[in-house]
Amino acid sequence: MDTPPSAAQIKNDVSNEARGLFSSLLDFSFESFVTPKIIKVAYFLMLLGVILFALVFLGTNLLSFKFTTMLFGLIVTPIILILGAIGARVYVEIVMLAFKILDTLQRIEAQQKITTQPQKP
């Protein structure tokens, strides 16, 4: 049975979410993280890098003017695209999983602090 978070915890969560990118960059106590805010951009850049690499790979193989090299490039380029996209996605998911674990542990810690406080008569 889950009990709802306290008002202080909700206020803390909202204030952490409201912090901007630049205020997070200047947070030397590392209470607010930058990575969750920029992970979508990083994922897009990774996919763009995979596409550019695959295009360069295909282009160099096609410009060799050797049939076997050209055929190799045509066969391997889709494999590079698929494996590169999968690798980028897995990496981003692992990073985000670490932040979700941190969030869950912080909520558990807050919950334990609430339940272990002595009750006032």
pLDDT, tens digit (0-9, with 9 covering 90-100), for 13-47: 656 555 677 777 777 777 778 888 889 999 999 99
- Cα separation values, 28 from 24, 32, 37, 63, 100, Å: 8, 9, 17, 51, 21
Residue 19 inside a domain? The answer is no
Residue 120 inside a domain? The answer is no
Mean pLDDT along residues 63-92? 96
Residue 82 inside a domain? The answer is yes
Residue 106 inside a domain? The answer is yes
Residue 97 inside a domain? The answer is yes
Residue 77 inside a domain? The answer is yes
Dist. CA 52–CA 78, nearest whole Å: 12
pLDDT at site 121: 61
The per-residue pLDDT for range 39-59, each reduced to its tens digit, is 999 999 999 999 999 999 999
Mean pLDDT along residues 67-92? 97
What percentage of residues in the chain have a pLDDT greater than 70? 80
Dist. CA 60–CA 88, nearest whole Å: 24
Q: Domain limits at 88? A: 40-111
Residue 117 inside a domain? The answer is no
User: Contact, 72 vs 61, CB < 8 A?
Assistant: yes
Task: Count up the domains in the chain and report the number.
Answer: 1
Dist. CA 32–CA 43, nearest whole Å: 20
Task: Identify the residue with better confidence: 90 or 8.
Answer: 90
